[in-house]
Amino acid sequence: MATVSQIQKKVQSILSTELGSVKVDADGDIRIDYESTSVRIAVEQYGDNAEETVVEITGVLSFETPASAKLYKWMNEKNATIKFGTIYHLDGSKGGTLVLLQYSILGDFLDPEELLNAVRVVVIVANKLDDEVINEFGGKRVADL
């Protein structure tokens, strides 16, 4: 089994090979900006064993979206129909809600095709759904900041 650091390096290598270059922050997370959204790829420890890892691919759908029962219903309906990933929200610091799409894959036996397909899914779906969230519920996309 590999450590978080080893899988971070592997993820960075795979994405750099495919994309040419990637933005890596101080925590080793990678950020990919695409049209109106941004996707973060992070490697985390999973379970009780320090050598089990998960790669979390998270796309931003909106910032500062007003929380409402209608928004939560929309998220539940989307979660019932999208095949890969889960839409969820976090309370934002400016009174609105941060709406995210997250897809996780195991990191221990990660291969390039699996990672690239997962990243593509999140990038494409987040870029499509961010407009839907903004138009229906308000808030801001990454491109609006």
pLDDT (tens digit, 9 = 90+) per residue, 17-76? 999 989 999 999 999 999 999 999 999 998 776 779 999 999 999 999 999 999 999 999
Rg for the chain, CA atoms, rounded: 16
Nearest to 59 by CA among 109, 126, 110: 126
What is the full DSSP assignment across 99-136?
EEEEEEEESTT--HHHHHHHHHHHHHHHHHHHHHHHHH
- pTM over 0.85? The answer is yes
Helical H segments across 20-111, by residue range: 69-81
pLDDT at 123: 97
pLDDT (tens digit, 9 = 90+) per residue, 61-116? 999 999 999 999 999 999 999 999 999 999 977 778 999 999 999 999 999 999 99
